[in-house]
Structure formats: structure tokens, C-alpha cells
Amino acid sequence: MITFIHKIEMAALICGISSVAMSAFADDASNTSAGSKSYKIEIKDFAFNPQKITVKSGEKITWINHDEEPHTVVSVGKKFPKSSGLDTDQEFSIIAGAPGTYEYFCSVHPKMTGTIVVEK
């Protein structure tokens, strides 16, 4: 005979399993729903590496500063928002917009330059 307490325990167990399954599905869906990739550009030794990348519209681009000096990421022609000063290990991200070629530089060290090519 199943008691009321057993029913409550069974309901709690089912809810717990459902919750875990749903969160796993949600994580999976958020990682693949847009089918977008993420790209990292390392700032090290006063250079952007890679200096040129090709991405698709909607993909995420993240710069991370591994130098001891602060750096910025500034778009030539203000085609995307500029970063604040990035200290060591700080990051700055954007989502690639319309197809085209986007050049950028460090406003603190203008000889540091890079290029993003966004494809459809």
C-alpha cells in the first residue's frame, strides 16, 4: 500500500529528475540554437593575435588582455562600440554585425591594429 508520504517522495523525485533534464536541454539549446561560434583575440606583446579573423554575422568576438599594460579596442569609423581600458586579464566582447570588413586599433598604442571580416 502506497502511503501519502510515499506519493510525495515519488513526486519530488520526478520533479527533480525533470528539472535536471530540462536544465540540460536548455543549456544544450542555448549553445546550439543560433549555431554561432565564439572567437577569442588575445592581446599580448603589444599585438592582437590573430591579427585578422573571419567570422559570420551574429558570432561573438572576445578580446582578452594578457599584457601588463592597459589596452583598448577601438573600431576605425566607429563601426562597433569601443572598449574601456582593459587591464591584465580583462575581456571585451562584441557580436559581429552586418557583413563587411572592420578594422580596429588600440587607442593607447595606435600601431596595434587588427581586422575582422564578417561574412553572411
Going from N- to C-terminal start, the domains of the chain cover: 1-33, 38-119
User: CATH top-level class for 38-119?
Assistant: mainly beta
Over its length of 120 residues, how does the chain's per-residue pLDDT go in tens digits?
556 555 556 555 454 443 333 333 233 333 333 557 999 999 999 999 999 999 999 999 999 999 999 999 999 999 999 999 999 999 999 999 999 999 999 999 999 999 999 999
Q: What is the pTM of this model?
A: 0.70
Joined grid coordinates for residue 18 = 525533470
- Beta-strand (E) ranges in the chain? 38-44, 47-49, 52-56, 60-65, 74-75, 91-95, 100-105, 113-119
Strand arrangement of the beta sheet that strand 74-75 belongs to: 52-56, 113-119, 100-105, 74-75
